[in-house]
Amino acid sequence: MDEQNKDGIEQQQEQTQAEVKPAGRFIQLKPFKFIMLMFFTILITAGLTIFALTFGEKKVVEVKVPIERAEFTKLYEAFDLLKNKYYKDIDDEKVVDGAINGMFEALDDPYSDFMVKDEAEQFNSGLSSSFQGIGAEIQERNGFITVVSPIKNSPAEKAGLLPQDIILTVDGKSIQGFSASEAVALIRGEKGTPVKLTVKRGENAEPIKMTIIRDEIPVETVYGEMLDGNIAHIQITSFSENTAAELEKMLADYEGKGMKGIVLDLRQNPGGYLKAAVEISNLFVPEGKVIVQVQEKDKEPEITKAVAGKKYNLPVTVLVDSGSASASEILAGALSESVGAKIVGEKSFGKGTVQNVAPLKDGSNLKFTTGKWLTPNGNWINEKGIEPDAKVPYPSYASLPYLDPSLEMKEGVQSDSVKAAQQMLEVLGYEPGEADGIFDRYTERAVKKLQAANGLEETGILTGDTTYALMDALRAKIKADDPQLLKAKELITGTPENTEETTN
């Protein structure tokens, strides 16, 4: 029995061993087969992937960068093609800047502009207390750089640069198609250095060549004088951060001297900060009345009303011309529609939009239009301007062209410059004979009279200091016989001014 049990046990062990062996062989083979299977799977997958990338759909290989916004697909494609297929290496930064410039050009908005770092620095310097240049506000219009207005007492003003002049070349280089920022970069420069401009004035006139010596341009924005009858004549040349404070100080001084009326002179004022125009308007507009409305995209106009504070409840007239733009027009519109002030002069420039400047990380700037502004009555003056209540043009001699002091005009010379000089001499009472552009003995005699009046050597030749003396005398006459200012004063006092011309 024990042997049977023993045999039974042995048989059970043999059966157990016989059952276990196949399982042992399966465990040993399974990992190897698995590994081999994975190896061949990976190999086949890699082969299929390479085949697909090489011979598959074109769209597979064109996805080179992750595109988060579909509208930039074309831009990425264009950049990649240039980067890989252009015949030489491209300047990545320059190409990207060019793409941004293209965006702004596509807006067809002369007041929106992309400024690279250097241009942005020059733009920002124009908002500081001073900068070095010729002192003229310019803008790009229809592919041309147009003068909005020269700054008071600047080299540009003294050289005779006028609103609406088109600058064709700078130092012999054509600037047609340039942005305003690009043109400024060429025109500005170190104090004491010359810049040569070719300027077109009017439709059919010959281009004018002028050399202007750059200078330090102080950003003084408020000038004043007390006229007869205690009428304050206050000229605001631009709207900076401190303009309102400058004006308040001057008005307080004149108030202490018995000021009875105010002529606000905004001629050739290209504008500036909207805030400054609102602060100045608040000195005259009664509390609660509208100063300006600003309307942004898809929004209702935001209305700015006058608040409590010091008010000057005196008769006011406002002088404007074709160089009065933007913030100047905001102030003129506010005083006209909310105060009843009379506007005198010529139609204003017509800039009815508001811009914002956004700096980028690399120092460049984006300046772009964010909305339009409306007068208190809801009028949009963009490209239309403000029509004066009393239209008074400048005298024709105020638009005579600049004379280049480096030119020598003497007997026998015939040119347009000679004709302009003869017209100036005639206006000043020096009797140069017929203004026909021919420098004759009568013109020579007139030049000698001019030289004698200014303590210069009587050569009869118009050049250098003699040319400067002629233009300075004409500028003084324009100021003394200012018909627009005389009319503005007349509307305050009710007394017509004597506008008879005088000669010296």
Evaluated on CA atoms 75, 81, 83, 87, the torsion sign reads negative
Phi, psi of 323, deg, nearest 5: -95, 0
Q: The tokens 């059952």 sit on which residue? A: 19
Chain centroid offset of residue 269 CA: 13
- Tell me the two tokens of residue 324: 């009065």
DSSP H or E segment with residue 113: strand 113-115
- For every residue of 266-302, DSSP letters joined together read -TT---B-HHHHHHHHTTTSPTTSEEEEEEETTSPPE
Q: The tokens 């007394």 sit on which residue? A: 495
- Tell me the two tokens of residue 370: 């964010």
The 3-state DSSP class for residue 312 equals coil
Question: Using an 8 Å Cβ cutoff, are 272 and 263 in contact?
Answer: no
Pick the catalytic residue from 179, 324, 326, 364: 326
- Whether 3 is catalytic is no
CB atoms inside a 10 Å sphere around CB 174: 10
- Whether 326 is catalytic is yes
Pick the catalytic residue from 140, 337, 346, 444: 337
- Whether 117 is catalytic is no
Question: Using an 8 Å Cβ cutoff, are 466 and 450 in contact?
Answer: yes
Q: Give 410's contacts (C-beta < 8 A, 6+ positions apart).
A: 439, 444, 460, 461, 462
- What number of CA atoms fall less than 13 Å from residue 456's CA on the CB side? 20
Please list the alpha-helical segments (H only) found in 359-482: 416-427, 441-453, 464-480
Q: Which residues share a beta bridge with 109?
A: none
The 3-state DSSP class for residue 7 equals helix
Pick the catalytic residue from 351, 367, 448, 487: 351
Catalytic residues, which ones? 326, 337, 351
